[in-house]
């Protein structure tokens, strides 16, 4: 699938630190090799039916900062992202709107691309849809059946057996208790009640053809369509490779999605799925998580259409640590706008080159420490307060380039 145009990234003198990131599975800092030279990043992409709200944007901007921090540290990154361009919520939404599901997906992916471009998010190297991966999914599900890691119900639906012995074992990604897993599975797209399943937690791998639903040739599986978790396991395998250095997404994906992706991947290949799992906190609005079902969406495209500067939106997103949950308010966006204006005003003044170097060092230090973007923005506030006569254009140039390269905020 076509992605979007990459923003220019200026080169900045010196090197940043390889960032330590908090890993959900370790419940602490991920074990990142000090000499990490190459990284494989997979970030769960959108289901194209309600793009792009500020929660989505917060997630992709957070991984964009990881990518930028890695690049600044000289790490070579292979980055893949999927698009869940066929799944229940998309089909249901298309039905409700009375439009073709393919048209809905296409228009929402277009919107997402333009939003990512406005927010200066670096595109993945591989941007891959579920639909274009059906053959690979069929192959993977067939192999899981052959390995007895999956079974077929009478109606032709294929399920993964969570009891399959794998190393690391099922449950080591989320480290939840079984009762917590059962609760989340039911809440987040799982079907614990389906009769005939061996374990209520067993997730769907292949949904056999139903009247009125799209389907593809599944070979031995019969016609049908892919389950959600196997889609990401297959795309991550083919386009980034195992073990991923970081598997990422919002915290709503910890269970079941990332647990199941890891289980499928390991059952298929014998390899560990990811060395680290990075999860972004949930953005909410008016007291609840931002989501289509709650009807409380603040869309990036709407804000931009109303004349909002995308760099103010980016500043707003970066002023919250990626792991925190937070509530959007219009006041927060106004604050971000004011801060951005102060930095831009400062960029018109000269900066003492030594002070510029010190600001760059501080920003690199803060981003190296679990991607502390809010602290890096505080460094910019300090810089903006201290620019004045006696400074040079070179000093300012260094800051402007650094803010662009590291934080993706264009102060020009």
**Where does this chain bind ligand 5CA (CB under 6 A)?**
44-47, 55-56, 58-59, 82, 84, 232, 249-250, 252-253, 280, 282-283, 289-291
CB of 235 to ligand 5CA, least distance (A): 9
Q: Which of residues 232 and 336 has its CB atom nearest to Zn ion in the complex?
A: 232
Which residues within the stretch 37-76 sit at the binding site for Zn ion (CB under 5 A)? 44
Cα angle for residues 289, 292, 294 (degrees, 5° grid):
55
Beta carbon nearer to ligand 5CA, 110 or 410: 110
232 interacts with Zn ion by CB under 5 A: yes
Measured in degrees and rounded to the nearest 5, phi and psi for residue 224 equal 175, -160
The site partner of 47 among Zn ion, ligand 5CA, none (C-beta below 5 to 8 Å per kind) is: ligand 5CA
Which residue's CB is nearer to Zn ion, number 44 or number 274? Answer: 44
Query: Closest distance between ligand 5CA and the C-beta of residue 282, in Å?
Result: 4
Q: Shortest gap between Cβ of 348 and ligand 5CA (angstroms)?
A: 35
The sign of the dihedral angle between the CA atoms of 7, 8, 12, 18 is: positive
Indicate whether 86 belongs to the interface with Zn ion (CB under 5 A): no
CB contact set of 137 (below 8 Å; sequence gap of 6+): 130, 206, 226, 230, 231, 234
Measured distance CA(380)–CA(406) in Å, rounded: 12
Q: Which is nearer to ligand 5CA, 54 or 138 (CB)?
A: 54
Name which of 321, 375, 336, 384 is nearest 61 in CA terms. Answer: 321
Question: What residues contact 227, with CB distance under 8 A and at least 6 apart?
Answer: 158, 203, 204, 205, 206, 207
| C-beta of 210 vs 292, nearer to ligand 5CA | 292
Q: Which does 46 bind (CB under 5 to 8 A by kind): Zn ion, ligand 5CA, none?
A: ligand 5CA
The region of 27-35, 225-233, 235-243, 300-308 touching Zn ion under the rule CB under 5 A is: 225-233
The smaller minimum CB distance to Zn ion, of residues 123 and 189, is found at: 189
The residue ranges that bind Zn ion (CB under 5 A) are 44, 232
């Amino acid at each position: 699938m076509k992605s979007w145009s990459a923003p220019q990234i200026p080169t900045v003198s010196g090197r940043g630190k390889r960032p330590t990131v908090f890993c959900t599975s370790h419940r602490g800092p991920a074990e990142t090799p000090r000499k990490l030279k190459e990284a494989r990043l997979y970030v769960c992409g959108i289901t194209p039916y309600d793009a792009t709200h500020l929660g989505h944007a917060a997630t992709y901007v957070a991984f964009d900062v990881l990518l930028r921090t890695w690049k600044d540290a000289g790490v070579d990154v292979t980055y893949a992202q999927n698009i869940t361009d066929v799944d229940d919520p998309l089909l249901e939404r298309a039905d409700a709107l009375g439009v073709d599901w393919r048209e809905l997906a296409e228009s929402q992916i277009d919107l997402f691309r333009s939003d990512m471009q406005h927010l200066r998010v670096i595109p993945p190297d591989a941007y891959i849809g579920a639909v274009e991966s059906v053959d690979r999914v069929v192959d993977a599900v067939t192999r899981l059946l052959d390995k007895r890691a999956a079974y077929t119900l009478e109606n032709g639906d294929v399920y993964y057996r969570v009891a399959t012995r794998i190393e690391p074992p099922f449950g080591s990604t989320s480290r939840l208790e079984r009762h917590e897993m059962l609760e989340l599975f039911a809440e987040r797209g799982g079907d614990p009640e389906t009769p005939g399943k061996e374990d209520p937690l067993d997730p769907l791998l292949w949904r056999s053809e139903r009247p009125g639903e799209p389907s593809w040739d599944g070979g031995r599986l019969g016609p049908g369509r892919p389950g959600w978790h196997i889609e990401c396991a297959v795309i991550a395998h083919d386009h980034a490779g195992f073990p991923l250095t970081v598997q990422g997404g919002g915290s709503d994906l910890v269970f079941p999605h990332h647990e199941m992706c890891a289980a499928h991947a390991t059952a298929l290949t014998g390899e560990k799925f990811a060395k680290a799992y990075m999860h972004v906190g949930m953005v909410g609005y008016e007291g609840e998580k931002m989501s289509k079902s709650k009807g409380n969406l603040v869309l990036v495209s709407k804000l931009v259409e109303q004349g909002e500067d995308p760099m103010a939106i980016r500043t707003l997103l970066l002023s919250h640590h990626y792991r925190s949950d937070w509530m959007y308010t219009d006041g927060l966006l106004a604050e971000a706008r004011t801060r951005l204006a102060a930095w831009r005003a400062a960029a018109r003044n000269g900066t003492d080159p030594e002070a510029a170097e010190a600001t760059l060092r501080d920003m690199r230090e803060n981003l190296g420490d679990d991607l502390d973007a809010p602290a890096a923005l505080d460094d910019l506030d300090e810089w903006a307060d201290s620019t004045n006569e006696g400074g040079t254009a070179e000093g300012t140039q260094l800051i402007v380039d650094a803010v662009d390269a590291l934080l993706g905020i264009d102060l020009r």
